[in-house]
Structure 1
Amino acid sequence: MSAPARPRTMLGFDFGRLRIGVAVGQELTGTATPLVTLAARDGQPDWDGIARLLAEWQPALLVVGVPRHADGSDSNSTAQALRFARRLHGRFGLAVETIDERLSSHAADERIATSATLRRRGRQDRSARDRYAAALILESWFHHAQAPQPCTTSSD
């Protein structure tokens, strides 16, 4: 008899030219925890910081949020986020998936605003929004991945 499958750990990323929010989550619970916000320099990610996180958490999958406008069209940052996702895969050889992150920063602001503790920390740490957005991106991916898929029938 084989051992039960281990729950997969995943890292979520909210990519930005100045900061990259990172969160960790477990597939089993479908929840994510904000971890850290890494500084980017001239649009270049902190690859050493990302490598340290990958070594520490040993994720099975990386999820990158891709910003789009409310109507679904590409934003100014869409191509940069997709390039970041490709570079993550190329540098580290891990599976990388992307998900539409429309409104994740707004939702992160709301989550921070509804918690007195998070509000106090948010005033001291302006980068909190990025890691909370990364957690929401990862939770959105969990929700989307677990959603029932439409059934297709053949006409045979």
Structure 2
Amino acid sequence: MNLDSKVILAFDFGLKHIGVAIGQEITNTAETFFSLEAKNGEPDWSKLDPLVKEWNPKPLCSRQPLNMDGSDSEIKKKSDKFSNLINKRYNIPVELMDERLTTREAKDRLKAEEDNSASSGRDTHQIAAQIILENWFSENR
């Protein structure tokens, strides 16, 4: 891994699954990576730890679940807990991104892939994480 490159990981937090996307700030590109199974929002750290060690991302991005009116959603406390845990565990800043409508957009992208017979094995969690990261790039250019 080139230490001059800036890798960013993004997470689409969920109670059962956490989508992960990886991006490169030099090219402003984001790609789906994989989904982690979670138990009540707690990831399998044994799968996440080596990933963070290998890629040394800075920063990490996580979703900020808000209602359409901007108020906190039901899952926000658990999502905030996840963001705080990864911040403390890896000592890497976590930037929260508004994720309203990312799941809907992810489902639309997945359906388009299926309609084009280009099924890639990706799921909505991974794609939502990719969208969160794409939005981060748009806001941080």
TM-score of the pair, normalised by structure 1 = 0.81
Aligned 8 A contact 2:41 2:79 in 1: no
**Could you tell me how far apart the structure 1 residues matched to 2:81 and 2:45 are?**
14
For the pair shown, the structure with the greater C-alpha radius of gyration is 1
Residue 106 of structure 2: aligned partner: 108
Per-residue deviation at 1:56? 2.3
**Could you tell me how far apart the structure 2 residues matched to 1:19 and 1:58 are?**
22
User: Which of the residues 125, 128, 139 maps onto 1:133?
Assistant: 128
Residue 70 of structure 1: aligned partner: 68
**Gaps in structure 2 of 5+ consecutive residues:** none
Structure having the larger proportion of residues in strand: 2
Per-residue deviation at 1:64? 0.3
Please show how residues 78-93 of structure 1 align to structure 2 within 5 Å: 78-93=76-91
Per-residue deviation at 1:86? 0.8
TM-score of the pair, normalised by structure 2 = 0.89
SS at match of 2:140: helix
Per-residue deviation at 1:43? 3.0
Identity level (%): 36
**Could you tell me how far apart the structure 1 residues matched to 2:130 and 2:117 are?**
17
Q: RMSD between aligned alpha carbons?
A: 1.7
Aligned 8 A contact 2:42 2:82 in 1: no
**Could you tell me how far apart the structure 1 residues matched to 2:5 and 2:83 are?**
23
Per-residue deviation at 1:44? 1.7
Residue 10 of structure 2: aligned partner: 12
SS at match of 2:51: helix
SS at match of 1:69: coil
User: Which of the residues 128, 134, 138 maps onto 1:143?
Assistant: 138
**Could you tell me how far apart the structure 2 residues matched to 1:100 and 1:15 are?**
12
Q: Which runs of 4+ in 1 moved over 3 A?
A: none
Per-residue deviation at 1:42? 3.3
